[in-house]
Structure 1
C-alpha cells in the first residue's frame, strides 16, 4: 500500500514538542498534514512556517519546508482536521492532578471532536501515554458510540506510544523502534504500513493494544524504580562516607548492573506521572509506589542535608539554579524546584530562582523572585542549590557569591575545587565533603 494508494492526509492532534515534530516528519515523508491545536498563537506561528518549539535540532527547517511546500497547515478546530484526514494521530497530554489521580479532561474533549469529524475507513492512532485498556475501552468505544461507526470495521484503532527525548526527538524517531498494537489485524496492518512510510523506522508489532500501552508505562516505571534505588544507595553512601559516583562506575562495569544516577528529584511529563497509571489501576503496593515516595522525597532530603550544615533557613537567601525539571529544556512540569520552593517558603527562607530559559515574569508566577547571575545582589546569597544543570551553568564563576556559605549540587555535576576555592562548602548527593574537605 503506497502513499498514493492511500491518498492519506493525516490529522495530528496536539502540536506540542512531540506532536509538531511528528507532523513535520510525516510531511517530509510525503503525507499531507492537518495539525490541530487549541492554542491559536501556536496555530498562527506554524501557518507562517515557524516552529514555536525551541532546542529541537532540525525542527525549524522541517516546519518551514513543510509549510512552504503546502504539505502542512494548522488549525485550532479538531473536527476540521479530522474531517479532512484518513489517519488521525492523537498526542495530547494525560497528566495527574494534585491527588495523583489521572486527569482525562483534555483528551476526552479531543475524543469527542474525533467522533464528530471521523469518516468511514479512518484509522485512529493514540500516541499519548495511557493506562492499559484506555485506548479501546475509554476512547475507541466512545468514538464508536458518538459517531455511529463500528469499531474495527467502519474505523480502525491502534496504539503506538511516543518514546522520544526532548532536544533529540527527530533523532530518536529514526533510532528507536516503533511499538505498535491494533484493535484487530486490519488496524495493526494499517498502522504499521503508515509508520513504515511516515517515519522510515523499525517496528515492533505486539499482540494487542493493551500490550503496547503497558510497554510504555513499564519503561517509565523501570526508570523511576532504578533512580529510586540510586537515590536510596546515595543516601546510604552519605552515611558511610562513600562516593556514590565512584561506586556506580565500578558497579556498572559488570554487564548486568545498570544503576542510574542519583539526583535531587525526578520531574517532567513522564517518570513522575506515568507510574500512577499503574498505581491507580491496582498496582498500589511494592516497588512502583515506593519508588515514587523515594524520588519525591529527595527535595526534603536535600534540604535536611543543607540544614545540617547551616542550621535554620529562616531569613536565609537561597538561590535555586534551574526552574525546569532537567537541563536545557524549558519545562516546569513536576520539577523538583517546585517541591524545593514549597518547603523553603514554609521554613521562611527567601527564595530566588535563576533559569536562563524562563523570563522573569514566568519565574514570578511560581511565587519566587527571579535573580540574574549578573545582578550584584548575588553577593547576598547564603545558599545555592543546583537543580537543573543547564549548559549556562557549566562555566559559572562563583567568585561573586561572596556571602555564600554552602552549595548543594543536586545533580552531582559541579567540580568541588571550583566551589571550595571561593570558601564555599560543597555538598552533593552521595559524595559530600566535610567543610570543603573529603
Structure 2
C-alpha cells in the first residue's frame, strides 16, 4: 500500500463489531481515523450509527462510540464488502471457535474473508487480529483473497497478523498498555502494519520475523495459562488428599520469585483458554501437557459434583443453585462457561438446576435449560446446594441466612469464608481447602 506523504490518515475497515472489534473501531476513530465498521447483526449496526454501544460493561467504550459518531469518524454497515471497498487498512476480528468435537469452526471468518476478497482495493493492507492456528493467515485466508480477488498478496495487497491481547472489562486500557505483537508477510507488510499501530494505538510494538511467529505467540500464551491452571488444580486435589490447605501452599511457594502457582478453581471458560489450545492439538500437538491440561481443567466440573455427592449422597430431586452463568466474574460471557458443564452433570443426576446471574435476563438464562432464581425470591429457602461458579461483585457479601434449607455450599472459586458458612450450619467445600 502506498502511504501518502500528506498528513491525511488512511481509512480503516474493522470487520466484526463485537466487544473487541467495536472497541478497536472506536479507539481508531478517537485517534482521527475514518473508520467503517462492519457487522452482520443489524441491531449492532443500527446502534453504532446512532452513536451507541451494544457493549455495556467496557469502561469508556460508550463515550468513545458517542464521540466518534458526533465527529463523523465512525459509521457501521452490515456489508463487509462495502466497508472494505472504502478502506486502505482492513482489520479482521471475526471469531474462530471449536465445535462440540473440538474441531475448528471457520464458518464466520471464511464468510467474512470471502466478502473482503470482493471489496478489497489494490495496495490495501489486511491485518488479522482473530486468534488463528499458525499458518492460517497466509495459507487459508491470504490465498482465499488471492483466488477470489485476482490480486497477489505481497504485491497487489499486503498482509499482516497482530493478535488481540486484551482482557474483558479493560480493553481500552490494555490496548495502550500491552505490547502489540506484529508479523508481516514481507518487509513492506510489516512496515505498513507497524506504522499504523504506532499511530493508532501509541503502544509498544514487538515485531516478529513472520506471520506464523505472531500467530504462534498468541496460541502459546493461552496454552501457558491453561497448563498452569491445570497444574494448580492437580496440586489442589492432591493437597486435599494430604490434608494440606492449598491457599497456604500457594502463598508460601510464590514468595520464591521463580514460582507462580495459579489459583485452582472449578473450571476454565471464555473465548480463549478452553478453545485455542485445540489450534495446536488439532495440528499435531496431540500428546503431552497441552492435551492433558485441557482434560484436567474440563474435568473440574465432574470433580465438584463428585465432592458434593460424597457429602450429600444422591442429588436426585435436589434443588441446586449455580451462582454465575458467565465463565468468570463481572463479565457477561457464557462461552465455554463451566456452568454449562455443571448443568449437564446435574441434569444427568436428575437434580433441579437453578441459575442466578445479575448480568443475564431470565429469558437468557432459560435458554440454557436452567431456571432463573433471584436472590430475593422466597424459593431460596428451598435450595439444597449452592455452587459458586463466577464470583461477581454481587456475591462478595452475599447473605446466606435466607437459604434455610441449604445443606452445602461448594465454593468453586475459593472466595468465601468457610468459618462464616459453617457457622450458619451449612457444610462447606472448596478446591484445595
Q: Is TM (by shorter chain) over 0.5?
A: yes
CA distance in 2 between counterparts of 1:256 and 1:140 reads: 41
Residue 299 (structure 2) aligned to one of 288, 297, 320: 297
Residue 227 (structure 1) aligned to one of 216, 224, 229: 229
Residue 73 (structure 2) aligned to one of 71, 74, 78: 71
1:403-436, CA deviations, whole angstroms, 9 ceiling, x for partnerless residues?
Answer: 00000000000112221221111110000xxxxx
CA distance in 2 between counterparts of 1:133 and 1:324 reads: 32
Corresponding residue of 2:156: 154
Residue 424 (structure 1) aligned to one of 416, 423, 426: 426
Contact 1:3 1:30 in 2 (8 A): no
Matches within 5 A, 1:179-328: 179-328=181-330
CA distance in 1 between counterparts of 2:113 and 2:101 reads: 24
Corresponding residue of 1:389: 391
CA distance in 2 between counterparts of 1:185 and 1:54 reads: 39
Shift of 1:30: 1.0
Shift of 1:395: 1.3
1:351-404, CA deviations, whole angstroms, 9 ceiling, x for partnerless residues?
Answer: 101000001001101111110001001000000000000001011100000000
Corresponding residue of 1:128: 130
Shift of 1:7: 3.8
Residue 339 (structure 2) aligned to one of 331, 337, 345: 337
Contact 1:164 1:172 in 2 (8 A): yes
Taking only aligned residues, the RMSD between alpha carbons, in angstroms, comes to 0.9
CA distance in 1 between counterparts of 2:25 and 2:71 reads: 14
TM-score relative to the length of structure 1: 0.97
CA distance in 1 between counterparts of 2:131 and 2:361 reads: 30
CA distance in 2 between counterparts of 1:366 and 1:174 reads: 36
Corresponding residue of 2:410: 408
Moved more, 249-258 or 267-276: 249-258
Can you give the 5+ residue segments of structure 1 that lack an aligned partner in the other structure?
Answer: 432-438
TM-score relative to the length of structure 2: 0.99
Runs of 4+ in 1 over 4 A off after TM superposition: 1-6
CA distance in 1 between counterparts of 2:9 and 2:384 reads: 64
1:248-267, CA deviations, whole angstroms, 9 ceiling, x for partnerless residues?
Answer: 11101101111111000000
CA distance in 2 between counterparts of 1:36 and 1:419 reads: 50
Corresponding residue of 1:435: none
Contact 1:161 1:212 in 2 (8 A): yes
Q: Cα gap change, 1:240/1:371 in structure 2, threshold over 3 Å: closer, same or farther?
A: same
1:216-238, CA deviations, whole angstroms, 9 ceiling, x for partnerless residues?
Answer: 00000000000000000000011
CA distance in 1 between counterparts of 2:420 and 2:252 reads: 25
Q: What is the aligned length?
A: 431
Corresponding residue of 2:37: 35
- Look up the SS of the partner of 2:363 in the other structure: helix
Q: Cα gap change, 1:5/1:143 in structure 2, threshold over 3 Å: closer, same or farther?
A: farther
Contact 1:405 1:424 in 2 (8 A): yes
Residue 9 (structure 1) aligned to one of 11, 18, 30: 11
- Look up the SS of the partner of 1:398 in the other structure: coil
Shift of 1:246: 1.1
